[in-house]
Homo-oligomer: A and B are copies of this chain.
Amino acid sequence: MPTRSPAEKIRSTIPKVAGVSRRQQYSASTKRALVDVATRLFTEQGYAATSLDQVVAGARVTKGALYHHFSGKQGVFEAAFEQVERDASKRIRKALRGSRDPWEKALIGLRAFLEIVQDPSYQRVVIQEGPAILGYERFREQEERSSYGLVQDMVRDVLEDSTYDLSEEMLETFTRIFFGAMSAAGESVSSAADPRLAVARVETAIAFILTGLRTLADNGVELPDPADLLEQTDDE
């Protein structure tokens, strides 16, 4: 039994033998194992239906280990959430590489997003349970740093390509709307009988909407000032 000092070095060749304490196999990656198991269980059963006992059993450790690495059940969920999100935004960024034209980028990004949204973990952990478990504030903070940020870049490019020079708030508003649209589209894709056909429909619909915006831009139609809407009801 090779009890080596830098246990982190043993990353290769993992002979998984039953009965052996996980700790001796690769103690440094206990945390990662916990997150992996938790992600799987959360995806399959949901947050509430998953007990920490199941998680630690799956990772072949005990609750002591879990509470050593995480603040609690919610902490584990956050770690799982971040991992799933990181993977997702990485995939989108990869797909986006090479595209230059903002409208093309938007479509490429949409396509990548529709792929990702078919991932059960992304569906359950990020979209469905994320907001409720993390709380809406934290959920938005996380999104900001990943997929939402990508959508924002796309929207900015597209709208600025249309020579609109819009305020931060309007950019934010458009981004929220498109992000919501894409999320909802993704959910509908995920529960469709034929996902590929569903993806095609969503692409068609959103491309159509984008075409509409582009036409407006080409015709020099200006984006109204939202403040105008307020004046007419400013006395109530």
Contact = CB atoms under 8 A, between A and B. Distances in A.
Contact of A136 (B131, B187, B201, B211): B187
B132 A136 contact: no
A1 interface: no
A129 B170 CA distance: 27
Interface stretch (A53-61, A96-104, A225-233): A225-233
A26 interface: no
Interface in A176-195: 176-185, 187-188, 191
Nearest to A217: B212
Interface in A190-218: 191, 196-198, 200-209, 211-216
Given A176-B185, A177-B185, A227 B205 contact: no
A122 to B, nearest CB: 13
Interface in A3-30: none
Contacts of A178: 181
Interface residues of A, number: 57
Contacts of A174: 205
A128 interface: yes
B223 A208 contact: yes
Given A128-B132, A169-B201, A177-B209, 17 more contacts: A47-B132, A128-B136, A170-B204, A173-B201, A177-B185, A180-B181, A180-B182, A200-B229, A200-B230, A203-B226, A203-B229, A208-B216, A208-B224, A211-B212, A211-B216, A212-B216, A215-B221
Interface of A: 46-48, 128-129, 131-133, 136-137, 140, 169-170, 172-174, 176-185, 187-188, 191, 196-198, 200-209, 211-216, 219, 221, 223-227, 229-230
28 contacts: A46-B132, A128-B132, A129-B132, A131-B132, A132-B132, A136-B191, A169-B197, A170-B201, A170-B205, A173-B188, A173-B198, A173-B205, A176-B185, A177-B185, A180-B180, A180-B181, A180-B183, A180-B184, A181-B184, A200-B226, A200-B227, A203-B226, A203-B229, A204-B225, A209-B209, A211-B212, A212-B213, A212-B216
